[in-house]
Chains A and B, each alone.
Chain A
Amino acid sequence: MQFPETSFSSPLSDKKNSKRHFLQYEPQFYVHCPPNEAPIESLWEIASQRLELLQEIDRLRSKGTSYQELTSGIEKFLFRRRHQSEYYSYENIIPDRLSDIELRDVFSHFLLRLAFCKERSGQVWFLQNEAVLFQWRLENAPSSQVDLLVEQLQQLCSEENIILRKIVKNLDLEPEFVQLYHYLYQKLPSSSTLLMYQIPFEQVPELVKHRSVIVRSGYAYLFSEQLNSFLVSCFRSFLSKSLGVVRKMEHLAEEHGQLKLLLESLRESQRLYINHFSSYSFEATEREGTGIHLQDLPQAMLDMPLCMFRLMKRLEQNHHLKHGARLQLGLFLKGCGLTMDESLHFWKTEFSKGGISSDKFDKEYAYAIRHHYGKEGKRASYTPFSCMKIIQNRPSAHEEHGCPFRELNSASLDVMLQSYGIQDAESRNSIVQKAREGHFQVACGMTLQMKKAGRRTKLSEETTTPMDNAHYIPSHPNEYFFKSREKNETSLKS
């Protein structure tokens, strides 16, 4: 089955080049994978292209970019891609190249599904970024395509006995619908009748939770403006379910030698991406001689990111930290340049103030510290945790590790920021606000910026130059630390 690619029109296809990239194809739920055959070279090509796009989306998302920036990021990426493929196209080399745009889209999706179903973290990563891709396509899709999706959804729903109904409400009889519409969109509905989607409330927990829908007799009524986010959440839940199913059958794909090779290579390039992106190589800074030593610690404390500052404070007060916190702080200090002997000395001194004898320390705690430095156990040298890892590693009730921007409530975060040296209440408030919105790393970057701003105005009142790291978003505590120190030195010199 071959479609002429030009027959598809969408606001996305730019006029000069009517050839649309397969990653710009109309949104769909990927319910079936057609049993067509395809040359393995094409599969390599499309799968790795899709993966690259998802990685680009992930990069953009982790910077806390707005949806507009995300959109233009995706468009830029695809634009570059299209130009490249004009030069490097396999089209001339491989005669039976998979040229059907829909098949390319579907196949590349299913290949990645296979590659990512194995591990929980991979599933989550794939799910989140695919959902963004779906949303972006959905927002650019013509309304006929959206109707098609709704129809498809109705069929899928009726298999599970869920009723999705299109209904028309007469607003003159329903003042509550007008009221909510006005509240959500700051305007009145354009006509006195409104098309709405009726669905059991269990299907839209997010909307119910925020009271953004009218709920009546067990049904939620969605405005057509809310349809997209509902379709995205359907997409997520279908994909999440099917990832679980695929996982159980993944071994079948592995039996196919060439396919196995492809899947492994996809996983490998994902591993490279994750490592490059989230782990900070601290050895480099050590070589440059910017590392710190035991005597620098008290002074260096204010350069530590809040997650470490908090633990240092806690250690000062209680002379003890729980395991998770010791690991988080211990590896960080190692990354800052503390040698193993210095670390041992540091922990031992602090713990002894809390009444832990040197004997007990050697027996119970020293092993773990030597372990961090790769001198015990499997002798692997452990790398300091990245922000991602710290954010995801959530503490239980009485533990103190984790990302303070995520774990602390507004009031305690505010107090913590104050003791960190941010005196301006308004700055603190805006940081807390960002953290509440879930942008933990952005909030952390702002903290660094505002701490600097405060210090700088104290040093020299006249300098009001905007910070060059205004949009700095940390991805690793050690990176934050060196960035903070670097800034200190330059500002002291000037």
Chain B
Amino acid sequence: MWRRSYYQDYFPADLLVRWLSYSFQHNKHLFERRELSFTLDNEVYVRYQSFESAEDIRKVLIQKLPVKIDIGAVYNYPPSSQSLVTLFTPVEREFILDIDLTDYEEVAIVNSEDEVDLCDKNWYIIAAAVEILDNALREDFGFRHILWVYSGRRGIHGWVCDERARRLSDECRDSIIEYLTVRLPPGLKEISVQGENFNTLLDDSMKQWNTLGVPFLKRSFDYLYPLFVKYIVQNPRFFTDSNHLKKYLSLLPSNYTAQIEYLIESSTADIDLWKRIEEILSEPKKSSYYGFIVCLVFHYLYPRLDANVSRHMNHLLKSPFCLHPKTQRVCVPVSVKEIWNFQPSRDAPQVSDGNLHHLGNDEKFLHAEKIMKDFIENFEREQKLETINTNEQRLLDRGDFV
């Protein structure tokens, strides 16, 4: 049974424990209060598991052979003794993000029957999302330790591990998620493929997008626009397929729609066509419809976050190095530097009976372990430095520093 031997010989339980201990002194008091949750074969959830060591985890993994391992919050007591205490409550938890390509179905420009294939070909959506979010979390919110993990099928998870992030109240989690969420005019999503002229209310809400007054949105647009041109506009299907540009044209006043439709019919689908459409929409200067383009760029590429995952401390999220129950792919950590080159079908090892004994030498698997290890070591190094600095400061303050 390959799952048993994966847990026995390959699953890096020691890395998991070391990561979740958040301690350069390898102090495990945080880890002991962390909830792990297992999903068993028959869809049975076993919640509130907690462990003292990597060996401990491995033993139970081999015994229960869960199809999925989730990580929950750190509680005030070890979750396994949950039933014995009166006040049992989560005290800290990474700030987590979840993006899934399933939420992008109507804008994924490459269609394919094959789900796996779909994920590879539309990975640019995930890559752009990761870059935008990673940048905002670092530059705006000042976080430094962000781990991105491929979700095993068609998405990615982000774990913000700074102590400050782990301590955020639910209210603050919500405020960050809202900050990072862009709400477009609802017509973009609700529009029918037949494309009957939607309603006039939309015009105004779209015009608000002509200027991006909020610096964060402006920055995001400036980042996304070249990617939009590269991945969406350069794909001829964008113009020809009735599910793309043509569908959204019905949101514009009819004289614009007619003009642009004529243009599409009479020219080749390329970047020049796009430039001319942009020109049409930018006129007249005073009340142009450039907001339409801004909306499209956000609609196609801006991260669509599953906000409920992030809002509450006690939400569960699949553990790194867990096997995805459907694809059997390892949920490998991905470094932001490599996000554009990552190809799920190629770079996430798939576990099956046949290949299991190779896993020990599998470059991809070893590389993933290295990313995880580097992440942990980086965290521990900074924590150590910080401790030294504060201790020094304390000595200085006391004045008996020789």
Which A residues lie at the B interface, using CB under 8 A? 176, 179-180, 182-183, 201-202, 205-206, 208-211, 214-219, 410-411, 425, 429
Q: Could you tell me if A202 and B142 are in contact, using CB atoms closer than 8 angstroms?
A: no
Inter-chain CA distance A210–B176, complex, in Å, is: 10
Q: Could you tell me if A201 and B201 are in contact, using CB atoms closer than 8 angstroms?
A: no
Interface centre among B143, B169, B178, B214 (most CB of A within 10 A): B214
Q: Could you tell me if A218 and B141 are in contact, using CB atoms closer than 8 angstroms?
A: yes
Q: Could you tell me if A216 and B215 are in contact, using CB atoms closer than 8 angstroms?
A: no
Closest to B201 in A: A429
Give min CB distance, A52 to chain B, whole Å. Answer: 33
Q: Could you tell me if A179 and B201 are in contact, using CB atoms closer than 8 angstroms?
A: no
Q: Could you tell me if A215 and B141 are in contact, using CB atoms closer than 8 angstroms?
A: yes
Interface centre among A208, A211, A216, A429 (most CB of B within 10 A): A211
Q: Contacts A208-B179, A218-B141, A219-B142 given; 6 further ones with Cβ under 8 A? A: A205-B172, A209-B175, A209-B179, A214-B215, A217-B141, A411-B186
Closest to A175 in B: B215
Q: Could you tell me if B214 and A180 are in contact, using CB atoms closer than 8 angstroms?
A: yes
- By a CB distance below 8 angstroms, the chain A residues around B172 are 201-202, 205, 208
Q: List 17 A-B contacts (CB under 8 A).
A: A179-B215, A179-B218, A182-B213, A183-B213, A201-B175, A202-B169, A202-B172, A205-B174, A205-B175, A206-B175, A208-B179, A209-B175, A211-B179, A211-B214, A211-B216, A217-B141, A218-B141
* Interface presence of B114 (CB below 8 A): no
Give min CB distance, B206 to chain A, whole Å. Answer: 16
Q: Which of B159-178 contact A (CB under 8 A)?
A: 164, 168-169, 171-172, 174-176, 178
Query: In terms of DSSP, what is the predominant structure of the interface of chain B?
Result: helix
Give min CB distance, B319 to chain A, whole Å. Answer: 27
Q: Could you tell me if B140 and A216 are in contact, using CB atoms closer than 8 angstroms?
A: yes
Q: Which of B192-223 contact A (CB under 8 A)?
A: 199, 201, 213-218
* Interface presence of B139 (CB below 8 A): yes
Nearest 3 A/B pairs, CB to CB: A218-B142, A183-B213, A205-B175
- By a CB distance below 8 angstroms, the chain A residues around B217 are 211
* Interface presence of B397 (CB below 8 A): no
* Interface presence of B190 (CB below 8 A): yes
- By a CB distance below 8 angstroms, the chain A residues around B186 are 410-411
Question: When the two chains form the complex, which single residue of B139, B175, B179, B214 contacts A217, counting CB atoms closer than 8 Å?
Answer: B139
Query: In terms of DSSP, what is the predominant structure of the interface of chain A?
Result: helix
Inter-chain CA distance A214–B218, complex, in Å, is: 13
Inter-chain CA distance A183–B215, complex, in Å, is: 9
- By a CB distance below 8 angstroms, the chain B residues around A183 are 213-214
Q: Could you tell me if B190 and A411 are in contact, using CB atoms closer than 8 angstroms?
A: yes
Q: Could you tell me if B213 and A180 are in contact, using CB atoms closer than 8 angstroms?
A: yes
Closest to A215 in B: B140
- Evaluate whether A202 and B215 lie within 8 angstroms (CB atoms) in the complex, with A410-B186, A411-B190 already known: no
Closest to B217 in A: A211
B: interface residue count bin: 20 to 34
- By a CB distance below 8 angstroms, the chain A residues around B176 are 208
- Evaluate whether A205 and B141 lie within 8 angstroms (CB atoms) in the complex, with A179-B218, A183-B214, A211-B214 already known: no
Q: Which of B75-118 contact A (CB under 8 A)?
A: none
Q: Which of B110-147 contact A (CB under 8 A)?
A: 139-143
Give min CB distance, A174 to chain B, whole Å. Answer: 10
- By a CB distance below 8 angstroms, the chain A residues around B141 are 201, 215, 217-218
Closest to B182 in A: A211
Closest to B169 in A: A202
Give min CB distance, A75 to chain B, whole Å. Answer: 34
- By a CB distance below 8 angstroms, the chain A residues around B179 are 208-209, 211, 215
Give min CB distance, B302 to chain A, whole Å. Answer: 14
Closest to A216 in B: B140
- By a CB distance below 8 angstroms, the chain B residues around A425 are 199
Inter-chain CA distance A206–B141, complex, in Å, is: 15
Inter-chain CA distance A209–B199, complex, in Å, is: 29
Give min CB distance, B94 to chain A, whole Å. Answer: 16
Inter-chain CA distance A128–B115, complex, in Å, is: 52
- By a CB distance below 8 angstroms, the chain B residues around A202 are 164, 168-169, 172
Inter-chain CA distance A205–B143, complex, in Å, is: 17
- By a CB distance below 8 angstroms, the chain B residues around A209 are 174-175, 178-179
- By a CB distance below 8 angstroms, the chain B residues around A411 are 186, 190
Closest to A201 in B: B141
Give min CB distance, A22 to chain B, whole Å. Answer: 34
Inter-chain CA distance A408–B179, complex, in Å, is: 24
Give min CB distance, A81 to chain B, whole Å. Answer: 37
Closest to B214 in A: A211
- Evaluate whether A210 and B213 lie within 8 angstroms (CB atoms) in the complex, with A217-B142, A218-B164 already known: no
- By a CB distance below 8 angstroms, the chain A residues around B218 are 179
Q: Could you tell me if A180 and B139 are in contact, using CB atoms closer than 8 angstroms?
A: no
Inter-chain CA distance A209–B171, complex, in Å, is: 10
Q: Could you tell me if B175 and A208 are in contact, using CB atoms closer than 8 angstroms?
A: yes
Inter-chain CA distance A122–B352, complex, in Å, is: 61
Give min CB distance, B134 to chain A, whole Å. Answer: 15
Closest to B171 in A: A205
Q: Could you tell me if B169 and A179 are in contact, using CB atoms closer than 8 angstroms?
A: no
- By a CB distance below 8 angstroms, the chain A residues around B175 are 201, 205-206, 208-209
Q: Which of B306-354 contact A (CB under 8 A)?
A: none
Inter-chain CA distance A17–B139, complex, in Å, is: 55
Interface centre among A180, A182, A205, A206 (most CB of B within 10 A): A205
Q: Could you tell me if A210 and B142 are in contact, using CB atoms closer than 8 angstroms?
A: no
- By a CB distance below 8 angstroms, the chain B residues around A429 are 201
